[in-house]
Amino acid sequence: VINVWKCMNVKLFIVFVYGDICNPRLVNHIFATESIDIVFHFAAQTHVETSFVWPSRYHMVNVEGTRVLLKAAFEAKVEKFIYISTDEVYGESLYKELDETSPRRPNNPYSVSKAAAECLVLSYRERHKFPVIITRSNNVYGPRQYLEKVIPKFVSFLQLNKKCTIQGTSPQSRHFLYVDDAIEAFHTILERGTVGETYNIGTDFEISIIQLARELIKMVRHVPDAELDDWLEFVPDRPVVDLRYPVNCEKLWRLGWKPAVSWAEGIRRTVKWYQENPDFWPDVKPEDQPITFEPDNAQPLN
């Protein structure tokens, strides 16, 4: 959590500890002082673009941080360790759907670090029979998302009368999963998932990044169709770009989960929230550094 004070309205039955998962003293301290039986490991550096600038940071947090957390959870004998990975570990596929048995071909420092962390998680399963599950999800979106991600970034640009920046001219598209559906998927996997398995989480809805920008321009700026492209600015692409990740989610569907929130409804809720909360992330920049706290300073925020 980058700014934990933003989450104080959900603190009932929750203890927030602000710190760094790469700090073994802190992580061991938490497991020693709290009664933890299930671990959902979401903590990660996740922005692909900055992973090319600071690959060592991504390795440190996503790989070393996972190692620290895994070791502490294993020694604490937790009941389940659910690792939240990404569909980007597959690399792009223009035509063939990617299921959980598809080979991993990560193409950027972020996805490489997530694939490496998956290997660490699976090694604990193979060597110690540790009860792990891995998930690989589409792009999750919704209210409160950090401004580096494409939907809140475009919305914030438009609120500031700036153009949406499109990287390169290649036909990139993504599947977007609304946050409420993602939460239900994680709950389904917790309750019904099989230890040792991997589950894709996603939706059939796919949209090009250019069309996404046009829809947001129309919703935020209320301009006629003829003027939509006036709000687009094309900028140089990043070094490596995956065009699409068409994941197959039938394995999770068999557990009884399917996305319930349509794209039209999810994006409406999301844009409405950012319009009503324009100052939610005023002090956050993508280059913010992770902070390390010693156990003595890692106090619950009551």
Check 90, 110, 178, 245 and give the catalytic one: 110
Alpha-carbon distance 92 to 243, whole Å?
6
Whether residue 20 lies in the annotated active site: no
Separation in Å, CA 139 to CA 34, 205, 302: 32, 11, 32
- φ/ψ region of 116 (left if φ > 0, alpha if ψ in -120 to 50, else beta) reads alpha
Strand pairing report for 173-178 and 206-208: antiparallel
Phi, psi of 234 (to 5 degrees): -90, 130
Given a contact cutoff of 8 angstroms between Cβ atoms, the answer to whether 251 and 199 are in contact is yes
Which token pair is 55? 């690959």
Alpha-carbon distance 124 to 143, whole Å?
35
Phi, psi of 273 (to 5 degrees): -65, -45
Check 20, 87, 118, 148 and give the catalytic one: 87
Whether residue 18 lies in the annotated active site: no
Q: Check residue 216 and report its DSSP letter.
A: H
Q: Check residue 154 and report its DSSP letter.
A: H
Dihedral sign of CA atoms 278, 283, 288, 289 in order:
negative
Whether residue 87 lies in the annotated active site: yes
Alpha-carbon distance 140 to 142, whole Å?
7
Alpha-carbon distance 190 to 180, whole Å?
15
By annotation, the residues acting in catalysis are 87-88, 110
